[in-house]
């Protein structure tokens, strides 16, 4: 990619931040700077790269998507990151969300059930120089207990309910941001741990691919048992 193309993408990224994020209430300065810095087009397949900064999700293969910029920013803002956190991301996908988190937190663990997506994301993140991200392959609905507790957990696929394993892996005061619901309706929720209790908040309707795994949806009909 030549300098002229990179400059054009940089202008599109600035427009994305101003028109899609600031105008919709994304105000956290560190988050806006991260969204301005991370080259979203690097995480998008070549055939869709010209659409990298549009206001919508894009396919990345394996039936998965890269979320629209506003949803990435909103979910990240709800985590209330200060810079010293260990964060778990469930659903690596393209790796873009992990890159945003890495700009705002101390350490990021991200887990993906599709090995080919995990490997592609890992390569891109390495090429961009991120050293505080560890990519794992496995059932994200069970979390990564070996690296818990986490001050923040973000799930980028819709679950039938907040997975108990993820709630248990939250640190005291930790936040879980997750879309909850089925094929015909989901709500973005935040769960905050207070000892053995959890505070639940609801924010906006969203539309995500289903979370698969032991604590996720079981088949293509979004059935849960």
- The tens digit of pLDDT for each residue in 131-182 reads 999 999 999 999 999 999 999 999 999 999 999 999 999 999 999 999 999 9
pLDDT at residue 223, as a whole number? 59
Note down the domain range covering 155.
55-206
pLDDT at residue 225, as a whole number? 46
Give a yes or no: residue 129 inside a domain: yes
Look at residue 224 and tell me whether its pLDDT is greater than 60. Answer: no
| 67 tagged catalytic | yes
Residue 165 token pair:
């394993």
Please count the structural domains in the chain: 1
Angle between helices 115-127 and 96-104 (to 10 degrees): 50
Average pLDDT over every residue of 35-45: 98
Give a yes or no: residue 93 inside a domain: yes
Verdict on whether the full-model pTM lies above 0.75: yes
pLDDT at residue 218, as a whole number? 85
Helices (H), the chain: 3-16, 29-37, 69-78, 96-104, 115-127, 164-168
Q: Which of 67, 77, 86, 156 is catalytic?
A: 67
Spatial strand order in the sheet of 107-112: 133-137, 107-112, 86-90, 150-155, 170-182, 185-194, 197-206
Give a yes or no: residue 188 inside a domain: yes
Give a yes or no: residue 221 inside a domain: no
Average pLDDT over every residue of 40-49: 96
Give a yes or no: residue 216 inside a domain: no
pLDDT at residue 184, as a whole number? 87
Q: Tell me, what CATH number does 164's domain have?
A: 3.40.50.150
Give a yes or no: residue 140 inside a domain: yes
Give a yes or no: residue 125 inside a domain: yes
Q: What is the pLDDT of residues 2-33, one digit of tens each?
A: 889 999 999 999 999 999 999 999 999 999 99
Q: What is the pLDDT of residues 87-123, one digit of tens each?
A: 999 999 999 999 999 999 999 999 999 999 999 999 9
pLDDT at residue 146, as a whole number? 98
Bigger pLDDT: 186 vs 225? 186
Q: Which residue has the tokens 């001050």?
A: 151
d(CA 152, CA 172): 10
Give a yes or no: residue 1 inside a domain: no
């Amino acid at each position: 990619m030549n300098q002229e193309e990179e400059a054009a993408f940089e202008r599109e990224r600035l427009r994305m931040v101003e028109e899609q994020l600031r105008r919709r209430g994304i105000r956290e300065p560190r988050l806006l700077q991260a969204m301005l810095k991370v080259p979203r087009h690097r995480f998008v397949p070549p055939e869709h790269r010209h659409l990298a900064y549009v206001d919508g999700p894009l396919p990345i293969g394996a039936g998965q998507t890269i979320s629209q910029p506003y949803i990435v920013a909103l979910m990240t803002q709800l985590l209330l990151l200060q810079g010293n956190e260990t964060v778990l991301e469930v659903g690596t996908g393209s790796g873009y969300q992990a890159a945003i988190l890495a700009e705002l937190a101390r350490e990021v663990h991200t887990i993906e059930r599709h090995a080919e997506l995990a490997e592609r994301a890992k390569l891109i993140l390495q090429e961009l120089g991120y050293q505080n991200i560890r990519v794992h392959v496995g059932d994200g609905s069970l979390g990564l207990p070996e690296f818990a507790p986490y001050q923040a957990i973000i799930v980028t696929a819709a679950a039938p309910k907040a997975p108990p394993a993820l709630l248990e892996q939250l640190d005291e005061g930790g936040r879980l941001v997750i879309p909850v619901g089925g094929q015909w309706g989901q709500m973005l929720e935040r769960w905050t741990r207070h000892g053995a209790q959890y505070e639940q908040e609801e924010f906006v309707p969203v539309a995500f691919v289903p979370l698969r795994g032991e604590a996720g949806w079981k088949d293509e009909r979004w059935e849960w048992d």
